[in-house]
A and B are shown apart, each in its own frame.
Chain A
Amino acid sequence: MPTFPLDILIALFAVVAAWGVGRGILRRLPLGNTTWAEQAVLALGLGLALIVLLMMVLGFAGLYSQLQAWLMLAGLGLAGVVSQAKGDLAGVVSANGADAVWRRLRTAGWPFLLLAAVLLVYGIGYLAAALAPTLEGDSIAGYLLTAREYARQGGIVSVDYAYTNTYPANGQMLSTLGFLLRGQVLAQIMVVWVPGLLGAATVYALGRRWFSRRAALFAVVVWYGMYSVGYLAASGKIDLAWAAFDLLAILAFARWYFAREGERSWGWLVVAGLFLGIAGGTKQASLFTAVTMAMGIAFKLWRDGSFRPRAIVQSYLVIGLPAAVALVWVVRSYTLSDAGFFTGEELPGETGITGYFRVLWDMSMLGNTSSTEGPAGKPIGPSVLASVPLVLLLRDVDRRLWHILAFCGLMSAMWYFGVQRARHFLPTLGLLSLVAGYVVMSFLDRKPRLGQALVTLVAAALVLNLAVWAYINFVSIQRAPYILGMQTKDEYLAENLLEQGWYPNHTVTSYALGLPQDARIAGLSVGSGFYLERPLYTGWAQTPAEVPDAAAFYGLLRSSGITHVFINDFVVRQRHYEQAWLAQPPFQAEYLEQLVCDNGQCLYAVR
């Protein structure tokens, strides 16, 4: 029997509860008029932000349990119902009514129906991918590992064998909730699929507010259909949650920034600051957004002639105070590692002026990290690169477009000197997709044939991308039998871990389940120990050049509490660990006892 309907139902309940309570908060904020799209994304965003904050407090207090998670959700649901009872729910329902949607679909031209159909297929595909345990490397080496341990150990603890241990963990607050309520699949839905949809809806709300419904739809499809987004959709990583909160911060900030002088509500800066705080506590790349917003505030105050100390301090305090909630994770990181920030300086990247253009080109084609991150890299597709520069050919361009492009330019400059990966750039890519949408819609109005050709090419690229993504996630990895209830999790892992040479295979993970609960396994590198169910400590690749004596290295293992060793020949070959003590047969013969060996992967007990 498939079990996913229950996961989807619980996720839906969490979303409705979050939306309800978020709507109650939204109504109390002095924000002025909002479109229904803005209301919907802001309400859900505020509700999810509240869940993240509650989970953070409860986690640091060590109060996680299944009962706590259900009580919290029930409490939020109740608060949402009470808040709706006082408000105008009828207005919301009618504004989102099926009639309006059908009317719009009937009057939309074929290019938009095509894009809407592609979007629907992507949404269903991403949901299906989240319904089976992920085999994505970073998720099972870090992001999901920490979330599962928080849930198991009843609070936010140090998971020192997860490489994400010291990273900010607002994203994991959502996956931890999923683990507490039910398990891994719900955790994946909560941290990936729900925020992915929220991010896409926020791009729509931005486009709907500043451009047009059609430009917004185009932007959403382009953003949601990027391979980079698809890759994350099949993972348990936190990047889509980060992108959603960061985009919400941008949405709120844009309402303040583009408002006329005198009509600017400080409430928007508070909301922007709150979302920035949640995003910054999910992924520190939000620092770039914060810096760009700070420049935007200074520019706006200068243009209005109110660049005075009092106004400056007030504006920065209003946005900065709620954003400071992200500092909680910086402090935790310092206490665990003496380093508060992740810089990514050890990651390979382009340099120089030409490198900037090369990275944009590569990222738009087959991915700028195809050598280090898999055969297809994680590209964003050609649509943004093909459409955005055409803005230079348009007359009478909306002036806001230049401000948005300036924002994107500043963000891209900082991103280029940080981690040059598309997933660190997703909110800006959402804005660039909007610019692309504006340009393509302008062409559809002014040069219909050219506009239609552009829409067709974009749709073709999206369909091709979908085919590649679906092949990787549903053919190379056989998810369907598990989703449909024809396989147990054990059978699913037995079949699919065989194909993943980097990770402990099923024979090893099954054997590890029988090891004592306090077993500590040493490995050379590449953790990915989620399915081992026992701590896998990497970094044990010392060679005789570093530790000259075998007995001394053995002593090091013992004094570190290591009880077992995992050796993967594939990793030894790929990473050239032949000289490491652990990979040397004489050392293994003398100090280790082989427990199980299969397909070039062996688990040993330390003698």
Chain B
Amino acid sequence: MNLRGGWVGVAVALVWVGLIFGAYFALSLRHQVLAKLSELIR
């Protein structure tokens, strides 16, 4: 294992990457949905 913290390090990396990309895709989706909704309402 050449990561700091062994499997804990892997877990930390997974959580961090998941958090950032999860937030990005969720926010993008929300933005697209809101944009579509506002277009429909208008």
Please list the residues of chain A having a beta carbon within 8 angstroms of any beta carbon in chain B. 364-366, 375-376, 381-382, 385-387, 389-390, 392-396, 443, 446-447, 450, 453-454, 457, 460-461, 464, 468
Q: Contacts A366-B28, A375-B35, A376-B31 given: A443-B23 contact, CB under 8 Å?
A: no
CB distance from A467 to the nearest CB of B (A): 10
- Sorted nearest first, the 3 A-B pairs with minimum C-beta distance are A386-B20, A382-B24, A393-B9
Contact present for B17 and A454 (CB under 8 Å): yes
Q: Contacts A393-B4, A394-B3, A461-B21 given: A450-B14 contact, CB under 8 Å?
A: yes
Contacting residues, chain B, for A454 (C-beta < 8 A): 17
Does B13 count as interface, using CB distance less than 8 angstroms?
Answer: yes
CB distance from A512 to the nearest CB of B (A): 30
Contact present for A386 and B2 (CB under 8 Å): no
Q: Could you give, for residues 14-38 of chain B, a 1 whenever the CB lies within 8 Å of some chain A CB and a 0 otherwise?
A: 1011001101110110010001000
Nearest CB to that of B21 among chain A residues?
Answer: A457
Nearest CB to that of A387 among chain B residues?
Answer: B17
Name 12 extra pairs, CB < 8 A, besides A375-B31, A395-B4, A457-B17: A364-B20, A364-B24, A365-B23, A382-B24, A386-B17, A389-B16, A390-B16, A390-B17, A396-B2, A446-B3, A450-B14, A464-B28
Contacting residues, chain A, for B31 (C-beta < 8 A): 366, 375-376
CA–CA, A390 to B18, complex, Å?
A: 12
Please list the residues of chain B having a beta carbon within 8 angstroms of any beta carbon in chain A. 2-5, 9-10, 12-14, 16-17, 20-21, 23-25, 27-28, 31, 35
CB distance from B41 to the nearest CB of A (A): 15
Contact present for B12 and A393 (CB under 8 Å): yes
Q: Contacts A382-B23, A453-B17 given: A446-B28 contact, CB under 8 Å?
A: no
CA–CA, A112 to B3, complex, Å?
A: 23
Contacting residues, chain A, for B4 (C-beta < 8 A): 392-395
Q: Contacts A366-B31, A395-B2 given: A443-B24 contact, CB under 8 Å?
A: no
Nearest CB to that of A457 among chain B residues?
Answer: B21
Contact present for A365 and B27 (CB under 8 Å): yes
CA–CA, A387 to B24, complex, Å?
A: 14
Contacting residues, chain A, for B3 (C-beta < 8 A): 393-395, 446-447
- Interchain pairs with CB closer than 8 A, number: 61
Nearest CB to that of B38 among chain A residues?
Answer: A375
CA–CA, A443 to B16, complex, Å?
A: 14
CB distance from A377 to the nearest CB of B (A): 10
Contact present for A386 and B21 (CB under 8 Å): yes
Contacting residues, chain A, for B2 (C-beta < 8 A): 394-396, 446
Q: Contacts A376-B31, A446-B2 given: A386-B16 contact, CB under 8 Å?
A: yes
Contact present for B20 and A450 (CB under 8 Å): no
Contact present for A461 and B13 (CB under 8 Å): no
Q: Contacts A375-B35, A446-B2, A446-B3 given: A393-B13 contact, CB under 8 Å?
A: yes
CA–CA, A394 to B2, complex, Å?
A: 7
Nearest CB to that of A361 among chain B residues?
Answer: B23
Q: Contacts A393-B5, A394-B4, A395-B2 given: A450-B13 contact, CB under 8 Å?
A: yes
CA–CA, A390 to B14, complex, Å?
A: 10
CA–CA, A396 to B2, complex, Å?
A: 8
CB distance from B19 to the nearest CB of A (A): 8
Nearest CB to that of A390 among chain B residues?
Answer: B13
CB distance from B5 to the nearest CB of A (A): 7
Contacting residues, chain B, for A461 (C-beta < 8 A): 21, 24-25
Contacting residues, chain A, for B16 (C-beta < 8 A): 386, 389-390
Nearest CB to that of B17 among chain A residues?
Answer: A386
CA–CA, A457 to B14, complex, Å?
A: 12
Contacting residues, chain B, for A385 (C-beta < 8 A): 20
Contacting residues, chain B, for A382 (C-beta < 8 A): 20-21, 23-24
Partner of A447, one of B10, B20, B27: B10
CB distance from B9 to the nearest CB of A (A): 5
> Residue among B10, B24, B25 with the most chain A CB within 10 A?
B24
Contact present for B5 and A365 (CB under 8 Å): no
CA–CA, A395 to B20, complex, Å?
A: 23
Show 18 residue pairs from A and B whose CB-CB distance is below 8 angstroms, ordered by the A residue. Answer: A365-B23, A365-B24, A366-B27, A366-B28, A386-B16, A386-B20, A387-B17, A389-B16, A390-B13, A393-B5, A393-B12, A394-B4, A395-B3, A395-B4, A396-B2, A443-B13, A450-B13, A461-B24
CA–CA, A461 to B21, complex, Å?
A: 8
Contacting residues, chain B, for A376 (C-beta < 8 A): 31
> Residue among B10, B20, B25 with the most chain A CB within 10 A?
B20
CB distance from A374 to the nearest CB of B (A): 12
CA–CA, A450 to B24, complex, Å?
A: 19
CB distance from A367 to the nearest CB of B (A): 10
CA–CA, A468 to B17, complex, Å?
A: 22
CA–CA, A395 to B12, complex, Å?
A: 15
> Residue among A382, A392, A395, A396 with the most chain B CB within 10 A?
A382
Contacting residues, chain A, for B12 (C-beta < 8 A): 393
Contacting residues, chain B, for A387 (C-beta < 8 A): 17
Contacting residues, chain B, for A381 (C-beta < 8 A): 24
CB distance from B11 to the nearest CB of A (A): 10
> Residue among B5, B12, B25, B28 with the most chain A CB within 10 A?
B28
Contacting residues, chain A, for B13 (C-beta < 8 A): 390, 393, 443, 447, 450
